[in-house]
Amino acid sequence: MDEDALSFINCGLDKPIGDEMRRLHVVLEKQEEGGYTTYVPELPGCVSQGETKEEALRNIREAKQLYLEEFRPSLPLL
């Protein structure tokens, strides 16, 4: 696997839990057909993609925000 194929990134996806901030991780995978897929392992089903790394990371930040708005009440403390 080349270094672009899979990146595990701490990219500022902070999640407030009570008075604390928890850091969420993003996995960035380069796709053979082009572009990148991203997901947050701590948030099942929180997945996005983009044509460039930058676009994929922007998209996963938005997906994370929407995910937390929808599911925050039912999430266990990480």
Model confidence, pTM: 0.70
DSSP string computed for the chain: --TTTEEEEEEEEEEEETTEEEEEEEEEEE-TTSSEEEE-TTSTT-EEEESSHHHHHHHHHHHHHHHHHHHGGGPPP-
Per-residue pLDDT of the chain (78 residues; tens, 9 = 90+): 344 444 554 444 455 545 455 678 899 999 999 999 999 998 999 999 999 999 999 999 999 999 988 877 666 654
Cα 65 to Cα 4, 30, 33, 41, 47: the distances in Å are 26, 23, 28, 15, 12
Q: Where are the domains of the chain?
A: 6-74
Architecture of domain 6-74: 2-Layer Sandwich (3.30)
